[in-house]
Amino acid sequence: MDRTDVVLGSSAVHPRIARQRTELVLSQPFFGALALRLDVREDPSAKTFWVDGETLGYNPTYMESLSDLEVRGVVAHEVLHVANGHCWRQGARDPDRWNDACDYAINPIVLSSGMVLPKGALVDAPYTGKSAEENYGLMTQ
């Protein structure tokens, strides 16, 4: 463990994620309070970030490609997956399509809260304001 790691419970949190969670607590308390409830785990096998309802996983190489504001936005994005129960509502749906449908539902909320998402984040007017289930239905047609 590096001296700059922040220890929460039994695991170390990467300093950039720790800083952005703190910034969320100060600037966006809803997102910040929920972000603090997630354990954080480095996961080099992941493509980007992920969440399973209890853990926020991240690829350190991908995270290093992001600005601090983008890391904050991605953490808020992952928090919204949990807050909206996306981890438990998937059912028998295709996982990749379900994730995209969920992203279309939550990314406009992150952006309308004044946060920044990385380039390529899924935002498209026909899906804005709709639930993940509605988006999934539209994407399946």
pLDDT tens across 49-62, in order?
999 999 999 999 99
Question: What are the CB-based long-range contacts (under 8 Å, 24+) for 117-125?
Answer: 117/70, 117/73, 117/74, 117/77, 118/66, 118/70, 118/73, 118/74, 121/77
pLDDT tens across 95-110, in order?
999 999 999 999 999 9
The reported pTM is 0.88
Domain ranges of the chain: 6-140
Q: Write the class of the CATH domain 6-140.
A: alpha beta
